[in-house]
């Protein structure tokens, strides 16, 4: 029966996952890690080195190289590529790619004999892409706020935010006007890679498009006034907004055994794709995704925005809207705490939590090694209400894990109170982290079988565009495989620590 391929282009890697919905089986996957597999692009954690800690760019050619390599690996693994009936996918949100007027022709003329980076190198109007980790656009955000005030949040779902594409485009147009003028098309990471697959400009979907401060969620289309103020002539440089099918697969990809002409679904952002892949696309279940960024998201029954201005509203690929709170200091911060404490991951799974007690005697930490997004804090540095450096490894680990969980709870309050939370992403494999989330939120924390819920969501959206019901795939691919029940005896200690984490967010780093 028909197979469907989902591709997830995330911060540190690019993955592919093939599903067979009629059998309810995952039939193949392949992964390209930027650090291990593509060191020549100098983006080991998905980011180019920069003297300014607020500037975070990546090389878009690396994403193309990863697409070639992932498809070659998938074919080599023995998956029946000719059975793939449609492709879907997602990209890390907010990142943008700047193309000149040769992009359309170069896409149409892709030759099987050469690889994507060498064929598309000349189409870049800007050699690097700002990504979601960038916080260098505060001046542009204040200008957008000054011009549009509260309308920015009520119409686009978010106030002006540093990593959002609108502020990034404005900074580029202001600081490099010539290269901006040479830019004929601006794509998101998602729509860029989707364009390459179909050999023509692909649309942007309402899930990822809402991460730009440019899409009016009330009209479902670009907001002409905001676009005009953001940068000169911007509206003409943006692709269409659409959900559903983007186009059909370009013959270039026959070299990987795929059939040219199969439908390619409009790509979305990694969080909206994950909402689908975790089976949380209907109201009532929240998701905590513990990846390079930590995110908390859920489908929204009614459109509402975060009164504190930190959270976002995006389009839900299954219809309606979704909410999201995003924390920059996720897996890279946990890894640094682990390394500095000199422990293995097993310590996060169990040991640290056996050696300490819930609430850590009041000792909390926020491992903000990078400028934080939620709340927006531009001065990096670990915050703690005790002498973190002098503490034992188990106290440090619990302080950071509880600090991150309390911050998630604090900034998810506007989204709703959930009794059921589904977890995904690398760190969700840790029983210690899952139990902490269950106790802090006093909610049942559920794991699902597939770790890469974003790629799964991409594959499900491809199958959905081909007529397969989402309900059928959710039952088959997102069953709950493990549960952590909340322990009511710990509710009071975490309730009392919620204001403490709020105070810690306002503190300056020590040392
Ligand atoms: C969401 C966000 C991050 C990226 C990570 O707003 O910035 O979660 O999507 O890939």
User: What's the pLDDT tens digit per position in 119-168?
Assistant: 999 999 999 999 999 999 999 999 999 999 999 999 999 999 999 999 99
> Residue 91 CA: which ligand 1 atom is closest?
10
Three-class SS state of 381: coil
* Tokens (6 digits) for 259: 């059939």
Pocket probe for ligand 1: among 11, 34, 93, the residue whose CB has the most ligand atoms within 8 Å is: 93
> Cβ(134) to ligand 1 under 6 A?
no
The 10s digit of each residue's pLDDT in 200-256 is: 999 999 999 999 999 999 999 999 999 999 999 999 999 999 999 999 999 999 999
> Residue 289 CA: which ligand 1 atom is closest?
8
Do residues 348 and 430 lie in contact, with contact meaning Cβ atoms separated by under 8 Å?
yes
Instruction: With a cut of 90, say whether residue 510 has pLDDT above it.
Output: no
Show Cβ contacts of residue 221 under 8 Å, excluding neighbours closer than 6 positions.
215, 241
> Cβ(92) to ligand 1 under 6 A?
yes
* Tokens (6 digits) for 402: 């509880």
**Ligand 1 centroid to residue 142 C-alpha, Å:** 21
Question: What is the reported pLDDT for 167?
Answer: 98
**Ligand 1 centroid to residue 93 C-alpha, Å:** 5
Q: Rounded to whole angstroms, how far apart are CA atoms 350 and 429?
A: 12
Do residues 351 and 64 lie in contact, with contact meaning Cβ atoms separated by under 8 Å?
no
**Ligand 1 centroid to residue 48 C-alpha, Å:** 17
How distant is the alpha carbon of residue 450 from its chain centre? Answer: 17
Question: What is the reported pLDDT for 28?
Answer: 97
> Residue 211 CA: which ligand 1 atom is closest?
6
Q: Rounded to whole angstroms, how far apart are CA atoms 420 and 283?
A: 11
> Residue 292 CA: which ligand 1 atom is closest?
5
What mean pLDDT, rounded, does the chain reach? 97
CA 241 to each of CA 189, 219, 221, 236, 264: distance values in angstroms, whole numbers, following the listed order: 15, 11, 6, 13, 15
Show Cβ contacts of residue 378 under 8 Å, excluding neighbours closer than 6 positions.
54, 135, 138, 371
Three-class SS state of 307: coil
Instruction: With a cut of 90, say whether residue 417 has pLDDT above it.
Output: yes
Do residues 463 and 86 lie in contact, with contact meaning Cβ atoms separated by under 8 Å?
yes
Question: What is the reported pLDDT for 1?
Answer: 85
> Cβ(11) to ligand 1 under 6 A?
yes
**Model confidence at 187, in pLDDT bands (50, 70, 90)?**
very high
Question: What is the reported pLDDT for 451?
Answer: 83
- CA-nearest of 145, 147, 162 to 211 is 162
> Cβ(158) to ligand 1 under 6 A?
no
For 258, which DSSP code?
Answer: P
Bridge partners of 321? Answer: 300, 315
The 10s digit of each residue's pLDDT in 419-431 is: 999 999 999 999 9
Q: Rounded to whole angstroms, how far apart are CA atoms 372 and 380?
A: 7
Do residues 238 and 165 lie in contact, with contact meaning Cβ atoms separated by under 8 Å?
no
Pseudo-torsion of CA 253, 257, 261, 265, nearest 10°? -70
Q: State the number of CA atoms in the 13 A half-sphere of 472 facing the CB.
A: 13
Do residues 393 and 347 lie in contact, with contact meaning Cβ atoms separated by under 8 Å?
yes
* Tokens (6 digits) for 127: 């050699």
| Protein residue whose Cα sits closest to atom 9 of ligand 1 | 93
Q: Rounded to whole angstroms, how far apart are CA atoms 245 and 299?
A: 22
Instruction: With a cut of 80, say whether residue 77 has pLDDT above it.
Output: yes
For 124, which DSSP code?
Answer: B
The 10s digit of each residue's pLDDT in 302-325 is: 899 999 999 999 999 999 999 999
**Ligand 1 centroid to residue 326 C-alpha, Å:** 6
For 351, which DSSP code?
Answer: I
Show Cβ contacts of residue 415 under 8 Å, excluding neighbours closer than 6 positions.
286, 296, 297, 298, 300, 311, 323, 325
> Cβ(293) to ligand 1 under 6 A?
yes
**Model confidence at 511, in pLDDT bands (50, 70, 90)?**
low
pTM (2 d.p.) = 0.96
Average pLDDT over residues 383-399: 97
Pocket probe for ligand 1: among 131, 193, 270, 277, the residue whose CB has the most ligand atoms within 8 Å is: 270
CA 57 to each of CA 144, 266, 414, 436, 495: distance values in angstroms, whole numbers, following the listed order: 22, 24, 31, 33, 39
> Residue 314 CA: which ligand 1 atom is closest?
6
Question: Phi then psi for 143, rounded to 5 degrees?
Answer: -65, -45
Residue 436 burial (CB count, 10 A): 25
Instruction: With a cut of 70, say whether residue 62 has pLDDT above it.
Output: yes
Q: Rounded to whole angstroms, how far apart are CA atoms 26 and 479?
A: 13
Show Cβ contacts of residue 31 under 8 Å, excluding neighbours closer than 6 positions.
13, 14, 15, 16, 70, 73
Percentage of residues of the chain with pLDDT beyond 70:
100
> Cβ(10) to ligand 1 under 6 A?
yes
Percentage of residues of the chain with pLDDT beyond 90:
98
Average pLDDT over residues 346-366: 97
Q: Rounded to whole angstroms, how far apart are CA atoms 246 and 65?
A: 22
Q: Rounded to whole angstroms, how far apart are CA atoms 487 and 189?
A: 41
Average pLDDT over residues 53-81: 98
Do residues 189 and 120 lie in contact, with contact meaning Cβ atoms separated by under 8 Å?
no
The full DSSP string for 36-97 is: HH-GGG--TTSS---SSTT--EE-HHHHHHHHHHHHHHHHHTT--GGGEEEEEEEE-SS-EE
* Tokens (6 digits) for 107: 């896409």
Residue 224 burial (CB count, 10 A): 13
Q: Rounded to whole angstroms, how far apart are CA atoms 377 and 509?
A: 11
> Residue 132 CA: which ligand 1 atom is closest?
7
């Amino acid at each position: 029966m028909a197979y469907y391929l989902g591709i997830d282009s995330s911060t540190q890697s690019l993955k592919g996952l093939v599903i067979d919905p009629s059998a309810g089986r995952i039939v193949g996957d392949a992964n390209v890690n930027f650090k291990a597999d593509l060191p020549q692009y100098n983006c080991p954690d998905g980011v180019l080195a920069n003297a300014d800690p607020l500037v975070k760019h990546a090389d878009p050619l690396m994403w193309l190289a990863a697409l070639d390599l992932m498809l070659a690996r998938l074919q080599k693994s023995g998956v029946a590529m000719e059975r793939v009936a449609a492709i879907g996918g997602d990209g890390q949100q907010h990142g943008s790619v700047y193309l000149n007027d040769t992009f359309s022709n170069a896409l149409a003329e892709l030759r099987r004999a050469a690889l994507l980076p060498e064929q598309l190198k000349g189409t870049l109007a800007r050699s690097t892409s700002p990504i979601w980790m960038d916080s260098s656009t505060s001046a542009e955000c204040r200008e957008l706020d000054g011009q549009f005030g509260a309308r920015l949040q009520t119409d686009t779902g978010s106030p002006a935010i540093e990593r959002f594409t609108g502020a990034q485009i404005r900074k580029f147009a202001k600081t490099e006007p010539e290269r901006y003028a040479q830019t004929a098309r601006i794509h998101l990471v998602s729509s860029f890679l989707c364009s390459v697959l179909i050999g023509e400009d692909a649309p942007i979907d309402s899930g990822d498009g809402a991460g730009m401060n440019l899409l009016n969620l009330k009209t479902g289309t670009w907001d002409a006034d905001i676009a005009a103020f953001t940068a000169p002539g911007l509206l003409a440089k943006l692709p269409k907004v659409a959900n559903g099918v983007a186009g059909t697969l370009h013959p270039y990809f026959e070299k990987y055994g795929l059939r040219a002409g199969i439908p390619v679904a409009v790509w979305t952002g990694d969080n909206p794709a994950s909402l689908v892949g975790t089976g949380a696309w209907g109201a009532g279940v929240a998701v905590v995704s513990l990846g390079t960024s930590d995110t908390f998201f859920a489908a929204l029954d009614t459109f509402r925005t975060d009164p504190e201005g930190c959270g976002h509203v995006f389009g839900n690929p299954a219809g309606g809207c979704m909410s999201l709170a995003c924390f920059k200091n996720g897996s890279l911060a946990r890894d640094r705490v682990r390394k500095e404490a000199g422990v293995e991951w097993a310590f996060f799974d169990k040991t640290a939590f056996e050696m300490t007690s819930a609430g850590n005697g009041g000792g909390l930490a926020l491992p903000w090694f990078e400028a934080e997004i939620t709340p927006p804090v531009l001065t990096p540095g670990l915050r703690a209400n005790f002498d973190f450096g002098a503490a034992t490894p188990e106290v440090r680990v619990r302080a950071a894990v509880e600090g991150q969980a309390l911050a998630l709870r604090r900034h998810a309050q506007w989204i709703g109170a959930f009794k059921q939370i589904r977890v995904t992403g690398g760190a969700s494999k840790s029983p210690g982290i899952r139990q902490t989330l269950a106790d802090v939120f006093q909610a049942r924390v559920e794991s699902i079988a597939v770790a890469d819920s974003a790629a799964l969501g991409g594959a499900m959206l491809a199958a959905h565009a081909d007529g397969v019901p989402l309900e059928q795939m959710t039952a088959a691919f997102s069953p709950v495989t493990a549960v952590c029940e909340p322990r009511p005896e710990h509710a009071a200690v975490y309730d009392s620590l919620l204001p403490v984490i709020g105070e810690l967010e306002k503190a300056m780093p020590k040392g």
